[in-house]
Structure 1
Amino acid sequence: MVKRTWKFTLQMLILIVIYQIGNGISRFFHLPVPGNVIGIVLLFTLLWLGVIKLEQIELAAGWLLKHLGFFFIPISVGLMTLGRTMFAKGLSLLFILTVSAFVGLFFAGKITQAVIMKNEKEKVTSHDHAL
């Protein structure tokens, strides 16, 4: 139990450090992109390059994902204070969110179809070579 707690703490520390580096980059370069977005891109890059292995952050990341809905409560409460803005710009925001959701779903579907087709072609090719 103690070992698992230390492992979780270390993994959470890794994620916090990456998050803070993203914030620092955003502030230092005066970027219009939030630091947490830069941190996510940095984390993805480190995972992709193999600098950080999934096992090194899996426990903490799983816990954060499990409780993700809880982290949206402060944002939701904050939106309640923006009643006038939502009333004035609500339709524009709804349109933007709807279009971006459909664009995201469209491209995710097309990429998934392409991967499935590629896998099916590889199966057929490997099956033909086996004969």
Structure 2
Amino acid sequence: MAALFCIWIAGEVISRGLGLPIPGSVVGMMFLLMALISGAVQPASIRRGARWFIAELLLFFVPAVLAVLDHPEFLGIDGLKIMAVILCGVVCVMVTTALSVDLGFRLMARLNSDNT
């Protein structure tokens, strides 16, 4: 968990220091991806912390739920509009991710068939 936290903090420092329009957490994930690809970080070394974060993911959403309770206007038509935008965004992300993974698998299969 400490390694994941340090990568996140490094991403935040770089993002804010350079004035990037990308959130620091995304910059940190890019660093982690590069470290995993290069072999500088082994997946086994961060697996336990990542599993803990995923297992406790619901706790990270509790403050957002409490914020909604402080704003009753979110429970009316404005809330429905926001929910529609969120659902459309989630669907777009899921479709894009599925298509990207499918494309990646097809490219890997093609490369594997060319090498044999």
TM-score, normalised by the number of residues in structure 2: 0.70
Q: How does 1:55-74 map to 2 (within 5 A)?
A: 55-74=44-63
2:64 matched residue in structure 1: 75
The separation in 2 between residues aligned to 1:104 and 1:81, in whole angstroms, is 28
Q: Which runs of 5+ in 2 are unaligned?
A: none
Q: Residue 101 of structure 1 aligns to which amino acid in structure 2?
A: V
- Report the 3-state secondary structure (helix = DSSP H, G, I; strand = E; otherwise coil) of the residue aligned with 1:33: coil
Task: For structure 1, list consecutive stretches of 5 or more residues without a partner in the other structure.
Answer: 1-11
Aligned length: 114
The aligned counterpart of 2:97 is 108
Deviation at 1:113, TM superposition (A): 4.7
Matches within 5 A, 1:83-122: 83-84=72-73, 86=74, 90-114=79-103, 115=105, 119=109
Say which of 14, 24, 28 aligns to 2:17. Answer: 28
Correspondence 1:37 to 2:26:
yes
Partner amino acid for 1:74? P
1:49 to 38, 56, 72: 38
Question: Using a 3 Å threshold, how does the CA distance of structure 1 residues 59 and 74 change in structure 2: closer, same or farther?
Answer: same
**Residues 26-58 of structure 1, C-alpha deviations (whole Å, 9 max, x = no match):** 221123332222222221221122211101111
Q: Give the alignment of 1:2-21 within 5 angstroms.
A: 12-21=1-10
The Cα RMSD (Å) is 3.1
Q: Which has the larger radius of gyration?
A: 1
Alignment TM-score, normalising by the size of structure 1? 0.64
